[in-house]
Amino acid sequence: MSALSQPKPVPRSTRKPARRVASQRRPRKHPKFAARATETAIVLGVNVVLIGTCLHTLGNMLPQQLTQQAKLQEIKGEVSRTTAHIEQLKQTHQRSLDPEVSRRISEEQGHLIRKNKRNLVWIKPTKRQP
């Protein structure tokens, strides 16, 4: 048969290890502990760099945002002035479409006089000698 052979168990020694006295113990260096400490230090370092970058970016963006707010307020003021001017122009345009009003405007601006009106000319009185 072509079955795989089972691995042979390794015989264990029956001897107990000698116990060390508390003063002779040395701290063991665990490779897992060193790897975790290194990983934690790297993660903290990257996070500190990211936080620093974010704070720097926010510091640079704040003056730009304040400038944009000022420009926005200026534009809003200009829009309100333009809106008022447009309303005035609309009223003038509506006024010019009415025939009676357009005749009155032509009299005011063009010095035209209707046939049924008379011209009045004011003359300064002169002093008469007796």
Contacts of residue 96, Cβ cutoff 8 Å, sequence gap at least 6: 102, 105
Q: Domain residue spans in the chain?
A: 33-110
Mean pLDDT to the nearest integer, 37-64: 96
Interior angle at CA 38, CA 36 and CA 39, nearest 5: 65
pLDDT at 51 exceeding the cut of 90: yes
Among residues of the chain, what percentage have pLDDT more than 90? Answer: 42
The C-alpha atoms of residue 40 and residue 50 are separated, in whole angstroms, by 15
Q: What is the pLDDT of residue 69?
A: 95
* Block residue for tokens 């209707």: 114
Mean pLDDT to the nearest integer, 85-112: 80
pLDDT at 67 exceeding the cut of 90: yes
pLDDT, one tens digit per residue, over 18-29 is 565 555 666 666
